[in-house]
């Protein structure tokens, strides 16, 4: 069964708007392929800490986001930046989004109302 999905560009715009409405800053660090590009989200707490998140498909077929700290990436910002640099070299179609939020919120699981 074919499932319609938002283009990556629209999804990125919605995530950035959600963060900005909550008082955080959100930036596109690298633009990827408009319709189906992969996404990497960096969340900086503005105190030297950061986390990286990537989407995965769950066993139930739902999109979930994995905190890459489970793979040893972060919580120091330098560690996340090193990973992002390597990811950029591997995938030029990758969207890289940075969210700056003092509380470290990622806005990836917020309901849209």
88-99: per-residue pLDDT in tens? 999 989 999 999
Distances (CA, A) of 69 to 16, 72, 74, 110: 22, 5, 5, 21
Q: How many CB atoms lie within 10 A of CB 105?
A: 17
Name the band, by pLDDT with cuts 50, 70 and 90, for residue 109: confident
Which string of b and e fits 3-22 if b means at least 16 CB within 10 Å?
Answer: eeeeebbebbeebbebbeee
Across the range 69-85, mean pLDDT stands at: 94
Q: What is the pLDDT of residue 25?
A: 97
C-alpha span between 82 and 11 (Å, rounded)? 25
Peptide bond into 15 cis (omega under 30): no
Token pair, residue 62, equals: 């739902």
Continuous H helices in 1-113: 8-21, 77-90
* CATH numbers and ranges of domains, the chain: 26-100 (3.40.1530.20)
19-61: per-residue pLDDT in tens? 999 999 999 999 999 888 899 999 999 999 999 999 888 888 8
CA 54 to chain centre: 6
Do strands 39-44 and 95-100 pair parallel, antiparallel, or not at all (unpaired)?
parallel
């Amino acid at each position: 069964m074919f499932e319609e999905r938002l283009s990556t560009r629209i999804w990125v715009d919605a995530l950035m708007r959600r963060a900005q409405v909550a008082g955080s800053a959100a930036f596109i660090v690298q633009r990827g392929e408009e319709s189906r590009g992969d996404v990497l989200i960096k969340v900086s707490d503005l105190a030297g800490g950061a986390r990286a998140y990537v989407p995965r498909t769950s066993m139930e077929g739902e999109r979930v986001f994995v905190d890459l700290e489970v793979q040893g990436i972060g919580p120091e910002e330098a560690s996340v930046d090193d990973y992002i640099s390597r990811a950029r070299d591997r995938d030029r179609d990758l969207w890289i989004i940075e969210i700056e939020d003092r509380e470290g919120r990622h806005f990836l699981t917020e309901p849209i109302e």
